[in-house]
Amino acid sequence: MTGIFDGKIALVTAAGAGIGMATAEGFARRGARVMLSDINPDAGNATTERLRGEGHDVRFLRADATCEDDVAALVRGTVAAFGGLNIAANIVGDAHRDASGPDFHEQSLEAWEYTQAVSLRSVFLSMKHEIAHMISPNKTGQGGGVICNVTSLAGMLYVGAAGAAYAAAKAGVVRLTKFAAVSYAERGIRVNCIAPGVTPTEAYNKAGAEMGQMVIDHLLAFQPIKRVIATSEQADAIAWLCSDTAAMVTGHVLPVDGGWTAQ
């Protein structure tokens, strides 16, 4: 897939760590010019400087993906810096530490609202402003584009440890992805999402730190390929969905889950 994004402009949220960082790396190494974004400027800048050191055309803008003003400025900044926007990977997502587990009758409204904001509102806002630019001709006179969101297996099936708030938010990402795919297909925009299995994201690391290896082993027990999935493997799936080789794929939820959902 080397060079498949030559001449393309990509935007990646949550690019400071985990799947977002791997996705930004994958786009850049395949030829794209990439705007990286993260709420943590230290992490985002570190990734950006490392990729620049490899000779890639990348930049960084800090943004809180739950804040519409930040997201609007991020998309404007991407278009201003590179002259357009062809690809967007919306990867921001998290759950409040008190929103996990099956007993949601004991969870606070604060935990629910935080989780909805980070895991669903962020995707809505990102897509809203990305699509607004994609449906308008860029400097090359071409409209259209590709978006890939990140949902979760919790948005597709019962994963009790994930909690109701996270499951609801990620199910919302699935439906939003499919709705947008149909709504904007005739305007040249494809929208898909991936659903990761057990992958060492920040949420994964946090769960392991707070609840121990037992929780990770419990999750892996549901995954037929019983190893942790690398963030680069998730990024490879995103790259394929965003490439021209997937030109007729839209509205699709791709589980990258070691066979979990095949059972």
Q: Which residues are catalytic?
A: 166
Dig out the tokens for 223 from the structure: 């995954």
Q: Which helix (H) or strand (E) holds 27?
A: helix 18-29
With contact defined as beta carbons under 8 Å apart, do 165 and 107 qualify?
A: yes
**Which of 40, 46, 41 lies closest to 25 in space, CA to CA?**
46
Dig out the tokens for 136 from the structure: 């308008």
The b/e string for 95-132 (b: 16+ C-beta within 10 A; e otherwise) is bbebbbeeeeeebeeebbebbbbbbbbbbbbbbebbbe
CA distance 104 to 101: 7
Give the burial class of 233: count Cβ atoms within 10 A of its Cβ; 0-12 exposed, 13-18 middle, 19 or more buried. middle
Residue 61: strand pairing partners: 37
CA distance 166 to 155: 8
Residue 37: strand pairing partners: 61
Residue 136 has a CB neighbour count (10 Å cut-off) of 11
CA distance 172 to 178: 10
